[in-house]
């Protein structure tokens, strides 16, 4: 019997790992969370879950100083004392529940809790597996070193060369994908309010540790997102255009895997469009929660003559003459259509050949839908978890 420890920070994450646990009930599963609502939900479902609370034993200073700064700290969501307390609480929980046979399943890996889990796994030489949405619907990314530009795949894209290259299957999938006209499921979450927020706030008052922005900041952000003043066209420009797809300004992809932000990238894209005699078409990210970014974009587009467009990517990409991105999934979509592509940040796909792109999509990504409620096949779950390796 294997053992797996997972951090859950939202209802979607809990539901996904619950499906994974149900696919492999013979293994031992342990959850950790700072959210009282998820703690109570797990206990109702009979899933062992530890509540991250203030007052955990102090850590060795050398160990704590070796933990990389998390995304929330980089975004100045809270002060250093809070993140130090969270690191101690996570380390204490892992000490309590991990044994030499425990594998840590880490979502994304860039936040404070996940950075602490990584440091613990390295210190105790435990297996880890990093998970992330797989760029395309119904697919999951899994890597033993990290996700996106921090993954082993980013360092060694030649790993794809040994995988199957089902050309006919790829062409069938590609045709079906390009006919889709829906927004990514995660884009709706920015305007949603957690109905259990009051229970989580009670938990924080009772000693639980939040891994999020303070409540008032999140409420203000969601309220502003609902009142987005952005005016964008429903149709692409009539003239030939260069497409720049915006990324969420607080995305770990921008914070950790890029030296420039959206505003700097837009300036580069605008210059490239001018040099090529193209219009600049910008697609705002549907999940962008920062109203100041959207206001800046509205003002600058009016002043510079940029075309803001909310049309689906399946309509924009086929008509685009060129594509510039920091490291968005849209870069992969541009590759599907053989569009001239410029990647400004660090990504795992920048050096993909057409063959490696097919292998990545058809043979590397796992056929597991994160947002689906259907059962995960045990064989798919086993193949997913088999990618775990001792942390480096």
Where do the structural domains in the chain lie, given as residue ranges?
3-164+365-390, 228-363
> Looking at beta carbons, which pairs linking 268-274 to residues 24 or more positions away fall under 8 Å?
268/324, 268/344, 269/242, 269/244, 269/324, 270/304, 270/306, 272/242, 272/322, 272/324, 272/342, 273/241, 273/242, 273/322
Round the average pLDDT of the chain to a whole number and report it: 91
Is it true that 3-164+365-390 and 228-363 share their CATH fold? yes
3-state SS assignment for residue 328: coil
DSSP structure class, residue 325 = E
Could you tell me if residue 371 is left (phi over 0), alpha (psi between -120 and 50 degrees) or otherwise beta?
alpha
Where does the pLDDT of residue 317 fall: very low under 50, low under 70, confident under 90, or very high at 90 and above? Answer: very high
Where does the pLDDT of residue 58 fall: very low under 50, low under 70, confident under 90, or very high at 90 and above? Answer: confident
Is the pLDDT at 180 greater than 80? The verdict is no
Tell me which H or E stretch contains 58: none
| pLDDT given at position 193 | 56
In CATH, what is the architecture of 3-164+365-390?
3-Layer(aba) Sandwich (3.40)
| pLDDT given at position 60 | 84
Highest mean pLDDT among 176-185, 209-218, 272-281, 307-316: 272-281
- Backbone φ and ψ for 347, nearest 5 degrees, come out as -145, 165
Where does the pLDDT of residue 69 fall: very low under 50, low under 70, confident under 90, or very high at 90 and above? Answer: confident
Lowest-confidence pick of 49-63, 87-101, 135-149: 49-63
Where does the pLDDT of residue 197 fall: very low under 50, low under 70, confident under 90, or very high at 90 and above? Answer: confident
Tell me which H or E stretch contains 97: helix 80-97
Distance CA 366, CA 343 (A): 25
Is the pLDDT at 220 greater than 80? The verdict is no
The CATH class of the 228-363 domain is alpha beta
The total number of residues written for the chain in this structure? 392
Residue 284 CB neighbours (<10 A): 20
**Cα 297 to the chain's mean position, in Å?**
24
């Amino acid at each position: 019997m294997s053992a797996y420890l997972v951090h859950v920070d939202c209802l979607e994450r809990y539901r996904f790992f619950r499906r994974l646990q149900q696919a492999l009930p013979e293994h031992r599963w342990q959850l950790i969370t700072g959210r009282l609502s998820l703690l109570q939900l797990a206990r109702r479902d009979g899933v062992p879950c530890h509540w991250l609370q203030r007052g955990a034993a102090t850590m060795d200073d050398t160990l704590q100083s070796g933990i990389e700064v998390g995304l929330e700290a980089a975004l100045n969501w809270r002060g250093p004392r809070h993140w130090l307390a969270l690191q101690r609480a996570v380390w204490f929980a892992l000490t309590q529940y991990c044994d030499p046979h425990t594998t840590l399943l880490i979502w994304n890996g860039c936040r404070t809790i996940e950075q602490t889990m990584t440091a613990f796994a390295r210190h105790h030489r435990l297996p880890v597996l990093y998970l992330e949405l797989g760029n395309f619907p119904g697919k999951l990314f899994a890597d033993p070193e990290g996700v996106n530009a921090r993954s082993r795949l980013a360092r060694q894209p030649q790993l794809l060369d040994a995988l199957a290259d089902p050309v006919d299957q790829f062409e069938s999938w590609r045709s079906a994908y390009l006919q889709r006209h829906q927004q990514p499921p995660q884009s709706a979450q920015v305007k949603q309010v957690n109905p259990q927020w009051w229970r989580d706030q009670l938990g924080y008052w009772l000693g639980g540790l939040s891994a999020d922005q303070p409540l008032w900041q999140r409420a203000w952000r969601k309220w502003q997102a609902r009142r987005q003043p952005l005016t964008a066209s429903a149709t692409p420009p009539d003239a030939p255009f260069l497409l720049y797809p915006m990324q969420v300004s607080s995305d770990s992809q921008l914070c950790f895997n890029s030296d420039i932000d959206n505003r700097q990238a837009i300036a580069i894209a605008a210059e490239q469009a001018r040099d090529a005699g193209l219009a600049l078409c910008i697609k705002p990210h549907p999940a962008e929660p920062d109203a100041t970014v959207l206001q800046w974009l509205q003002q600058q587009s009016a002043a510079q003559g940029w075309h803001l467009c909310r049309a689906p990517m399946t309509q924009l990409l086929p008509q685009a003459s060129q594509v510039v991105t920091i490291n968005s999934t849209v870069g992969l979509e541009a590759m599907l259509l053989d569009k001239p592509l410029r990647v400004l940040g660090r990504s795992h796909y920048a050096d993909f050949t057409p063959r490696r792109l097919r292998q990545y999509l058809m043979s590397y990504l796992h056929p597991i839908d994160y947002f689906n409620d259907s059962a995960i096949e045990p064989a798919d779950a086993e193949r997913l978890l088999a990618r775990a390796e001792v942390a480096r």
